[in-house]
Amino acid sequence: MEETQSVRLGVLGCGTVGTSFCQLINERAPEIARRTGLSLEVVQVAVRDMTKTRDGVDPAILTNDSAALVERPDVDIIIETMGGVDHTRELVLRAFAAGKPVVTANKELLALHMPELFASAAEAGVDLELEASVAAGLPFIRALRESLIGEEITRVMGILNGTTNYMLSQMTENGADYDEALAEAQQLGFAEADPTADVGGFDAGSKAAIIATLAFGQAVRAGDVHIEGIESITADDIANAQRLGYVIKLLGVVEKNADGSVAARVHPTMVPVDHPLASVRDSFNAVFVEGGGVDQVMFYGRGAGGHPTAAMMVGDAVNAAINLQSGCNNELGQLPAANVRSIDDISSAFYLSVDANDQPGVLAEIAGVFGNHGVSIGSMEQENADDGSARLVFITHEAVERDFRSTLADLDQLDAVKTVGQVLRVIGS
Ligand SMILES: NC(=O)c1ccc[n+]([C@@H]2O[C@H](COP(=O)([O-])OP(=O)(O)OC[C@H]3O[C@@H](n4cnc5c(N)ncnc54)[C@H](OP(=O)(O)O)[C@@H]3O)[C@@H](O)[C@H]2O)c1
C-alpha cells in the first residue's frame, strides 16, 4: 500500500456538530486515505467543560485552551464547531496568522465578518471552508463558488431553516395552528426553547447574507437582509393559500438586479404548489438557483443535524488538506461592499385579504385604490359572511413594495374596509 500523508486536525467545540465530526473522521479516515492519500486524524478538541463525556471522543485529547490549540505547530487544520462570534473570530484570525486553514459551520460569524475572514485567509495563503454554514447537509456552496462561476446568477431562493419548514409543513398537512406546530417542533428537538432565531427568520437571514455574497461577489452582511419571520402565519392563512393553489414557505431570496444592485430578504412566501420548492417538506432544506444559462438548479437535503453538518465539514477538511499539501488555496477575490436595494424598491406579487362591507360599489372603490398606486390585481375572490361583510382575497401582479404599502395605507382609510388582513409575497408563479 502507498504511504499516506498525515493531516492533523484541531477541533474547536465538541457539541452536536463537533462530536459528529470526530466520530465521522474516525469512521471515514481509512476510506479517505485510500482515495486521497491523506490520513486525517483529530489530535485535539477544545471545549469549555472538561468533565463532560463526549461520545466517541478520547478524553485525553480534550483541552480547555482553545487559543493554544489554534496555534499548536503540529496541528495542520482548524475545524471550528463552537459557534459564537467575537471570541471565535479572534481564534479564526489567529489560526490564519499561524498558517492554518479553517473549516467552519458558523453562519453568524460569516454573515458578520466574511470579507475580513476571507481577506485574512488569503493573506495567509490558506483556505476558509464554509460548506456547512448554509443549509448544512447540502453540498451547494462549492457548486456556487466553483461549478457555477461561469454563470450569471440572477436569483437564489432557499428554504434555509428546518425548524420553520417543519412547522409550516405541520400546519399545511395536519392543520396544526402555529402554537401547536411550535410545541411539536420543540418536543422533537427541532426548535430551541427560545425559538426566536428560527421563527423570527434571523437564522435564515444570516444564511441569505452568505449566499448573496458568494452568488454575486459583493459583501452582503446580516444587517443588509430584510427579515420577517413566520410568527404571524395562522392556520387560516395556510388554508387560504392551499385553496388558491399555493403553500406558504419561509424563503430566503437573494437577487441581482439589472443595475448591479442586490437584494436579500427572508419572509414567509406563497409558492405555487407546482414549484419545486413547494414539495420540500418537514425539516428538509432546499436551495433553488436561477441563472441565464443553467436556467434552474436545485439542491435538496438535511439542513441541520450533527451528522449531515459534519459530513460537509469532513469534505471541507479533505479539500483544505489537499490544497495545503499542494501549497495552494481557494480565494474569493475582491469583495466590494454590496450595493443593496431596499425592500421598499423590490418588486413582488402580493397576496392580501381584506374584510369589507358587502355593499354595491365597495369593490370598485377598493379596486380604485389599487389603481391609484399602479398596483394591478391579478386575481380576486370574494367570500360573503352572514353579518353583511365580505372577505376579499387579492393576488396582485408584480408591484413595487413601496407602492403596495401605500395601497394598504389607503385601503385602511376606506369606510367600507373593516380590516386589512394578512399580506404575503407571492413568488415562483
Ligand atoms: N447543530 C446543527 O445542526 C448545526 C448545523 C449547521 C451549523 N451549525 C453551527 O455549528 C456550530 C456548533 O453548533 P452545535 O449545535 O454543535 O453547538 P453545541 O452543541 O452548543 O456545541 C458547541 C461546542 O462548543 C464548545 N464551546 C463553546 N464555547 C466555547 C469556548 N469559548 N471555548 C471552548 N469551547 C467552547 C462547547 O463546549 P462544552 O460542550 O464544554 O459546553 C460545545 O462543545 C454553530 O456555529 C452552529 O451554528 C450547527
Q: Where in the chain is the domain with CATH 3.40.50.720?
A: 5-137+306-326
Write out residues in the chain with pLDDT < 50, as ranges: none
46: Cβ below 6 Å to ligand 1? yes
Please give the distance, rounded to the nearest whole angstrom, from the Cα atom of residue 316 to the centre of ligand 1: 18
- Amino acid identity of residue 283, one-letter, is S
Distance between CA atoms of residues 402 and 187, nearest Å: 40
Beta strand 62-63 pairing with 389-396: unpaired
Whether 262 and 255 have beta carbons less than 8 Å apart is answered as yes
Rg of the Cα atoms in the chain: 24
Contact residues for 249 (Cβ-Cβ < 8 A; gap 6+): 159, 165, 168, 268, 269, 271, 277, 278, 280
| Four-way CATH pick for 5-137+306-326: 3.40.30.10, 2.115.10.20, 3.40.50.720, 3.10.580.10 | 3.40.50.720
* Residue 292 DSSP class: T
Q: What burial class does residue 331 get, using C-beta atoms within 10 Å of its C-beta: 0-12 exposed, 13-18 middle, 19+ buried?
A: middle
Beta strand 417-426 pairing with 38-46: unpaired
Q: What sign for the dihedral angle of Cα 370, 371, 372, 374?
A: positive
Please give the distance, rounded to the nearest whole angstrom, from the Cα atom of residue 16 to the centre of ligand 1: 7
Length of the chain: 429
243: Cβ below 6 Å to ligand 1? no
18: Cβ below 6 Å to ligand 1? yes
Provide the grid cell at 161: 431553516
Q: What burial class does residue 165 get, using C-beta atoms within 10 Å of its C-beta: 0-12 exposed, 13-18 middle, 19+ buried?
A: buried
- On whether the 343-426 domain is CATH 3.90.25.10, my answer is no
Beta strand 38-46 pairing with 5-12: parallel
Whether 315 and 323 have beta carbons less than 8 Å apart is answered as no
**Residue of the nearest CA to atom 47 in ligand 1?**
106
Please count the other Cβ atoms lying within 10 Å of the Cβ belonging to residue 30.
11
Comparing CA positions, the residue from 378, 382, 359, 361 lying closest to residue 370 is 378
Going through 76-116 in order, the beta strands assigned E by DSSP cover 77-80, 102-104
Please give the distance, rounded to the nearest whole angstrom, from the Cα atom of residue 234 to the centre of ligand 1: 33
Q: Is 100 a catalytic residue?
A: no
- The pLDDT of residue 167 is 97
Provide the grid cell at 93: 484570525
Whether 91 and 70 have beta carbons less than 8 Å apart is answered as yes
Fold of 141-302: Dihydrodipicolinate Reductase; domain 2 (3.30.360)
Distance between CA atoms of residues 363 and 166, nearest Å: 38
Q: Choosing from 107, 207, 249, 256, which is the catalytic residue?
A: 207
Comparing CA positions, the residue from 297, 173, 257, 241 lying closest to residue 429 is 241
> In testing the pocket of ligand 1, which one of 11, 12, 17, 140 has its CB within 8 Å of the most ligand atoms?
17
16: Cβ below 6 Å to ligand 1? yes
Q: Which run of H or E residues covers position 409?
A: helix 401-413
Provide the grid cell at 286: 432546499
Q: Which residues pair with 246 in a beta bridge?
A: 272
**Residue of the nearest CA to atom 33 in ligand 1?**
47
Backbone angles phi, psi at 418, to 5 degrees: -85, -50
> In testing the pocket of ligand 1, which one of 11, 12, 48 has its CB within 8 Å of the most ligand atoms?
48
Distance between CA atoms of residues 386 and 301, nearest Å: 47
**Ligand 1 atom at minimal distance to the Cα of residue 13:** 24
89: Cβ below 6 Å to ligand 1? no
Distance between CA atoms of residues 281 and 249, nearest Å: 10
Going through 153-261 in order, the beta strands assigned E by DSSP cover 153-159, 226-227, 246-256
SS3 248: strand
Whether 299 and 138 have beta carbons less than 8 Å apart is answered as yes
